[in-house]
Structure 1
């Protein structure tokens, strides 16, 4: 298993993309002592696309990432680019009407086209390829679902037709094909956007955690950065906010396998199971690999080790696997009403924007979100702004402060009240493993490293006071409530938390 990576990521397992590119260096940074037109927080596909659009529009911008460019979800995507989405167009019509469904389809298409136009205009070498996308049904119930997807797609003018020939060894009853879908290497794409952004005068600050903002006279300050506008392109806006109760965090799993022989499918392929599986072929480091993903579950729930094992079992059932070259997981958020939230952040000061709730379609929706947000910052109208407006969420008055206060109380309650000593439960903890254990009658999050040292932490998530769970595959502490994740030393890997878990000293 290849785990040598140039780019740190939000877990122990490195994706094929993150292992395959040299890291950015400090010379990408320009320096300006000024008030920026916009601070973009987050260096994934949404943040970098928005930053480049604004910089090219003549705005002075700065992009800050808590870690490295490509650290999080964009670096962990399976990198499918589609004209359809996890929320079907029939579901979108049911919730938002015919006009809403058509706008949603147009937005997905515009996100697709924006990626393609960037690849062409900037001559980006990111393995971008057009492929057909097949969706097949294995049961009678799935055939009915397929008919619903077909009817919904045609209604919003998305090209689709039935196919009798799917390049899969899996027995199926019926199948759809969406022609001219696409795939690419997301890190190569991101790094090319970085280059164009910096060449246009943009500023990138890596390893800069934005924990909060102070607003005065229409200017937002974060550390030593001052900006008239702020875009949170962090997959989930930080700290307590209404989206914590409107978006559910999920982990999705991917393995890249080498097959015996050269019969790799030349297409994007999806089944209709729940949870579903998806696969495609990519040429990486001089060899073809089959990427298969799925087995999604809520973050901090279920067993990541089992998810990987079942994914490997699934692919070995139908393909002649020689070896597993990579495995990794990544995070995404499912919105309660099926569509993303893009626009002015509720309960925030004027000039603060965000985007979240992409479901499993972050490449297209993240790209179109960048266009929407860049238009809003410039005071332009955008035809999708009303459909995706976060204000369609009605917050419960006073609840934000209530949760924030109680999170702080719980944080100090556990961290400050007992002494650490190695009890019997700790002695049973094996090297390379973590577990919630009891010490002096209180729970602690304990990890024993390969040298036998204990890393002891408060198990109380600093976001909203839930108790974290151990993820043995990624070697992280994951919050089952809102998806915050921490490394073995308690450092924040994934928001919405902005404070580390409290260490318990021996």
Structure 2
């Protein structure tokens, strides 16, 4: 079973063993270093290698450890930011460009599956978006019109593939689905066959600019390349993009059905947050994969309750035989609705980034691969202006952007003001985590399933916000910029690169006895 950045096991982990890269004999003078071993990093690295670039992939843990191992793997051109919103805030031509970029990305996946003969359960599908009341009907019609105007093949539908009541629906042709881990592992093997190198358990800790490119400091030594690409979901360190991307968590379940009535295609309701559904065959067994119940990272007191809510929703409409897998995953919403792909703001021209994919990571990861390949290889790329991380932010998403960063500022200010004493919590339950005060000092305490105490500082090592306990994935999550840590404070996901500081164990033990 492969590992990923959470306590819960995803459907894609089961039956898969960790990727074992080929030994590296030459670690000198790479053309491109890609930081990140998910679908973005590996897809980009393969395209670079096919262009004759000597490329090194650095992965802090294992391939697909992060969001790629926790996606629900919808490959779609029906995007989370509707084409109506893109047209309103970026113009109709840019809505068409976004749709074309998404279609190019989907075609790249199709091509890879076909030419590399990848056995990853890839199949074509349609997507259905359905309304359930009058207000949603009006919005859906607007979305349908804008989607057609953007050049996507869409039309009104009289039925949907789900046993869920609806009022109106739209159908979008030319979507797809697959097993993301099998797909990425196959790309990695193809990349290595072209001379590409992969190093796992190698975290990037620093970057130095030099006359010919960059020197990358890592936990396994120094590497030199002309160009560096951050495909790490969110770039590490401190950057303007951390204020332009808001971290969210989404919940998913893979279930078997007693009546074998597995729905085909991809489906989405119009609730806020919306639910999404599809079926995937894995090792001969079909699974209904349903997700939703999204919220900002670190902003729920009981993350596990979202699983309960999602299960209740699924059981309301489907004859569930077994909840086989349940997991959550993190994504980053861009402030203006479109991802940031290109030169990293504030850095020299040889450093690139791909982030802010929202809920469309499978699609935008491949948009990024194509765009970054062309930027590095040719110095220019189609759509580079549209997705430029340095673009001036238009009004789309401005309200939520300001609201999120007001929360961030509040976190900073709270570090400077006196706190009220927290109510001391006695008898912590196994699996529980709390940030508590002891002798005017805050400590993040977790009691594991065997009663063992784990104590760390609650101060995120990225920008000093206070972490919150995630009782679903058993992790400390930062609500400011999405850094996540395991119960012992080790980094699970960036932008943090350093672990939480260990707290004096005697204080934690003293608290736990109260």
With normalisation by structure 1, the TM-score equals 0.92
Partner of 2:72: 78
1:232 is the counterpart of 2:230 = yes
Contact kept? 2:78, 2:127, Cα under 8 Å: no
Q: Deviations over 1:44-102 (max 9, x none)?
A: 11110110111111111100010100001111110111122011111111111121111
Contact kept? 1:30, 1:198, Cα under 8 Å: no
Partner of 2:185: 191
Partner of 2:23: 29
What is the rounded CA distance, in whole Å, between the counterparts of 1:216 and 1:264 in structure 2? 55
The structure-2 alpha-carbon separation of the partners of 1:261 and 1:213, relative to structure 1 and needing over 3 Å to count, comes to same
Q: Deviations over 1:399-424 (max 9, x none)?
A: xxxx9xx99xx79xxxxxxxxxxx99
Paired residue secondary structure (1:95): helix
Question: How far did residue 431 of structure 1 move?
Answer: 2.1
What is the rounded CA distance, in whole Å, between the counterparts of 1:156 and 1:139 in structure 2? 25
Contact kept? 2:3, 2:18, Cα under 8 Å: no
Q: Which aligned pairs between 1:32-431 and structure 2 lie closer than 5 A?
A: 32-223=26-217, 224-302=222-300, 303-393=302-392, 425=424, 428-431=427-430
What is the rounded CA distance, in whole Å, between the counterparts of 2:370 and 2:380 in structure 1? 11
Partner of 1:474: 473
With normalisation by structure 2, the TM-score equals 0.90
What is the rounded CA distance, in whole Å, between the counterparts of 2:284 and 2:117 in structure 1? 22
Question: How far did residue 168 of structure 1 move?
Answer: 1.6
Q: Deviations over 1:137-191 (max 9, x none)?
A: 0011111111111111111110011111212221110011112311000000000
Contact kept? 2:267, 2:277, Cα under 8 Å: yes
Segments of 4+ in structure 1 off by > 3 A? 423-427
Question: How far did residue 288 of structure 1 move?
Answer: 1.5
1:454 is the counterpart of 2:448 = no
What is the rounded CA distance, in whole Å, between the counterparts of 1:44 and 1:336 in structure 2? 23
Partner of 2:511: none
Question: How far did residue 425 of structure 1 move?
Answer: 4.3
Partner of 2:396: none
Question: How far did residue 426 of structure 1 move?
Answer: 6.7
What is the rounded CA distance, in whole Å, between the counterparts of 2:15 and 2:165 in structure 1? 35
Partner of 1:18: 13
Aligned CA-pair RMSD: 2.1
Question: How far did residue 12 of structure 1 move?
Answer: 0.2
Contact kept? 1:30, 1:202, Cα under 8 Å: no
Q: Deviations over 1:409-466 (max 9, x none)?
A: x79xxxxxxxxxxx99475222222111111122110011233221110001111111
What is the rounded CA distance, in whole Å, between the counterparts of 2:478 and 2:423 in structure 1? 26
What is the rounded CA distance, in whole Å, between the counterparts of 1:369 and 1:11 in structure 2? 25
Paired residue secondary structure (1:392): coil
Paired residue secondary structure (1:296): strand
Contact kept? 2:252, 2:328, Cα under 8 Å: yes
What is the rounded CA distance, in whole Å, between the counterparts of 1:199 and 1:21 in structure 2? 21
Contact kept? 1:344, 1:353, Cα under 8 Å: yes
Partner of 1:416: none
Which is further off, 263-272 or 376-385? 376-385
Structure 1: gaps (5+ residues): 1-5, 395-402, 412-422
Contact kept? 1:242, 1:393, Cα under 8 Å: no
Which is further off, 427-436 or 287-296? 427-436
Contact kept? 1:81, 1:363, Cα under 8 Å: yes
Structure 2: gaps (5+ residues): 394-407, 417-421, 506-514
Partner of 1:3: none
Contact kept? 2:268, 2:277, Cα under 8 Å: yes
Contact kept? 2:205, 2:497, Cα under 8 Å: yes
What is the rounded CA distance, in whole Å, between the counterparts of 2:224 and 2:8 in structure 1? 36
Question: How far did residue 349 of structure 1 move?
Answer: 2.1
What is the rounded CA distance, in whole Å, between the counterparts of 1:383 and 1:376 in structure 2? 9
Question: How far did residue 285 of structure 1 move?
Answer: 3.1
Question: How far did residue 393 of structure 1 move?
Answer: 4.4
What is the rounded CA distance, in whole Å, between the counterparts of 2:456 and 2:185 in structure 1? 35
Number of aligned residues? 480
Contact kept? 1:218, 1:350, Cα under 8 Å: no
Q: Deviations over 1:204-254 (max 9, x none)?
A: 000101022112223311232111100000111111111111111110110
Paired residue secondary structure (2:206): coil
Paired residue secondary structure (1:378): helix
Q: Deviations over 1:240-273 (max 9, x none)?
A: 1111111111101100111112111112111111
